Structure 1
Amino acid sequence: MRLSERSGTIEQSHIRSMTRACNALGGINMAQGVCDLDVPREVIEGAYAAMNEGINIYTPTEGLPRLRNAISMKMKRFYDVEIVPEQVLVSDGATGAFYTACMALLNPGDEVILFEPYYGYHRSTLTSLGAIPTYVRLEAPEWKLDMGALEAVISSKTSAMVICNPANPSGKVYTREELEMIGAFAEKHDLIVFADEMYEHFLYGDAVHITALDIPSLKDRCVVLSGFSKVFSITGWRLGYAIAPVSVIEAMAQLNDLIYVCAPAPLQIGATVGLEELGDSYYSELARIHEHKRDLFCGALHDAGLIPSIPGGAYYVMTDVSTVAGSDDFAKAMEILERTGVASVPGRAFYHDDAGKNMVRFCYSKPLDVLEEAAERIRKLR
């Protein structure tokens, strides 16, 4: 059978290919962003109780009202941002929410700005829908926003931009000043802003998460994306959501119904219970644990003679591996895997050109004993 043109737009995930190579060697997989921590009992028991209570059938495509309300209350609780439940759409992961948002708001040929290093699924989603990514480079190790570079890529076809905050893969946390500059830029050029805030609770040191909804110039032109995969360690549950103006949510809901019908009913209740019952200490401890893991693993990278760009958030570290043998990033990632048994992602997975050819990304959200073993193995590169 002849494949569609669309099927040729999606590149094989470098993360999945390195995962397979790691599994073949029985190594430690620090390529894939799987949070291996225990799922909170409140979340598990909430989902189990929902199953026993018969909450096992279709839900409204926008999500269960109780969960939509809990998300709106969460925004008030953490950010003092007022939204109504009608501004929330629950979907099959934040990737599902992003896909339906792009379908609702973009047309083929629209240009969309991505900041490099970018999250690969953002690019793949755009290209699969016929949108055209354009790129603004943020340079390691500080990943500072360059407004001049942003202005340089604007064209009459530019309709949107994507920010990931905290960023996968760089760990950049955008300041309020940077978000205000992005808001002014978006307002000036009448752009939509997709704000992926999946790692909002993974913050280190003095970093503070500012949601795009708290920036006046962005409030009515942004789609905020987040979810429960990382914060509750339930990546396989596929629960994410979007927050946007009601008219956008209504358009997204029609597409969400067509593609996914609804998110899993009892799992929505599990996430709801997590939002309702877990106190502030849960989130602060989550950040503290991951800050310790960041410092442990980045210290090992330094000991190995590598140069990590210390992340301010999320749980990934982009690392300069120029000193590792190999002609490019893939060869260097394989060299690291074969010598240490630790898998990473080749840097060019996050760039549209060769800018990442001397970089790899590690995910350090691992059980502490596994991470300590990975750190000892990495030190052998010295």
Structure 2
Amino acid sequence: MPKLSDRTAFFTESIIRRMTRISNEYNAVNLSQGFPDFEPPKDLLNSLSKVVSKGPHQYAVTWGAQNFREALAKKQSRFMGINIDPNNEIVVTCGSTEAMMVAMMSVCNPGDKVIVFSPFYENYTADAILSGAEPIFVSLRPPSFKFNILELEAAFKQNPKALILCNPSNPTGKVFTYDELKIIADLAEKYDVFVITDEVYEHIIYAPYRHTYFASLPNMFERTISCSSLSKTYSITGWRLGYIIAPKSIVDVAKKVHDFLTVGAAAPLQEAAVTALNFDDVYYNGLQKVYTQKRNTFLKGIDDIGLTYTTPQGAYYIMVDVSEFGVKNDIKFCEWLAQAVGVAAVPGSSFFREDVHHLIRLHFAKKKATLDEALNRLSSLKDKAKGMQL
């Protein structure tokens, strides 16, 4: 038989999705894959019910239904502080996963280099490899996850085509400060580099932290490909509605890549989601309040158990330090945790370029009853871990 593609040999299957399968196998509380176990907003579900009978049920415009793009442009213009053209500066994609892939394939040629902060969401390296690009890793050092300016500029000096910025960060929950973003912006302008942003947690921020859209910085819109989705903001991860916002010159290329990748996002779901895009500030303030309560509940429980972790500034993940258990293989530890304790986590090594095996990622986008059950199970961790060697 002919040899299969070489590019797929350079990355593994998703560790996150694998941990969900393991969670299901052992009937564990799934705090690994980051999706909610509670319902989307009622108004959004009511809108979906109407669309089921009325339609549309055929293809929408390839780069997004007109009313969806107009509602999205109105909403994002308000939050980003930029006047976004719905006809020339938006591509609607099948989730932010496709948005990131489209962005990479739109700007990168085989052999180009791309800066990736480590730790990183696992898709970024796969996106680079599938695009034929080479990642350059720059460390975000725990526990504050700040970057070293000299290390970052050394990466820029290697003539990269783009930098990938996840803000708020998955997996760390870091929210980049304005000053940090300005440093990145100045270097991007100095070395003529695109910035591809992943901002899916843009509305899940904890006081006193604030999210700054990278494209809103001076002179940055023209070189920024802003990727996001409706998945986290409206608790509809299964709807797969994402988007790219960028200047027309970039969007014209992104439209072509998107067309041949997926043709288009689901038309009935776009129609229903217009309702959510028209929500006022009451919804977004309420979302922040709900997640703040979930974060506080979960962190108090982790404190009571006596585990060490990083406090998230945004998103809904915490990195827990399990070095006290003598962990040498975090993948095996997470498998054991699901089986013996009944809670599923993601091994931290899947996010790091560095040799890191003492961190695991948990998430708290769950109902209070689910979080209480997870914490109850985790309360037995220290006793069950005695004598364990992993």
Query: Displacement, 1:325?
Result: 4.4
Match of 1:109 in 2: 111
Gaps of 5+ in 1: none
Gaps of 5+ in 2: 383-390
**TM-score of the aligned structures, taking structure 1 as reference length:** 0.96
2:217 matches 1:215: yes
Local SS of the residue matching 1:138: strand
* 1:216-365 equivalence runs, <5 A: 216-276=218-278, 278-354=279-355, 356-365=356-365
Local SS of the residue matching 1:217: coil
2:168 matches 1:166: yes
Match of 1:49 in 2: 50
State the number of aligned residues: 380
Deviations 1:35-91 (A, max 9, x none): 222111222232332343331111111101111111111123223221111201000
Range that drifts further, 10-19 or 46-55: 46-55
Distance 1:134 1:159 in 2: 11
Query: Displacement, 1:338?
Result: 3.1
The one-letter code sitting in structure 1 at the alignment partner of 2:325 is V
Distance 2:234 2:7 in 1: 34
Query: Displacement, 1:334?
Result: 2.8
Query: Displacement, 1:275?
Result: 0.9
How large is the Cα RMSD of the aligned pairs? Answer: 1.5
Distance 2:376 2:38 in 1: 21
CA contact 2:294–2:365 (8 Å) conserved in 1: yes
Distance 1:346 1:167, change over 3 A: same
Local SS of the residue matching 2:272: helix
Range that drifts further, 163-172 or 49-58: 49-58
CA contact 1:170–1:316 (8 Å) conserved in 2: yes
The one-letter code sitting in structure 2 at the alignment partner of 1:34 is F
Match of 1:58 in 2: 59
CA contact 1:319–1:360 (8 Å) conserved in 2: yes
* 1:88-237 equivalence runs, <5 A: 88-237=90-239
Match of 1:76 in 2: 77
User: Where in structure 1 do 4 or more consecutive aligned residues deviate above 3 Å?
Assistant: none
**TM-score of the aligned structures, taking structure 2 as reference length:** 0.94
CA contact 1:202–1:290 (8 Å) conserved in 2: yes
Distance 1:183 1:227 in 2: 23
CA contact 1:180–1:217 (8 Å) conserved in 2: no
Distance 1:38 1:325 in 2: 39
Query: Displacement, 1:14?
Result: 1.0
Match of 2:4 in 1: 3
The percentage of counterpart residues that share the same residue type is: 37
Distance 1:83 1:96 in 2: 21
Match of 1:35 in 2: 36
Distance 2:157 2:351 in 1: 23
The one-letter code sitting in structure 2 at the alignment partner of 1:71 is L
Distance 1:156 1:133 in 2: 11
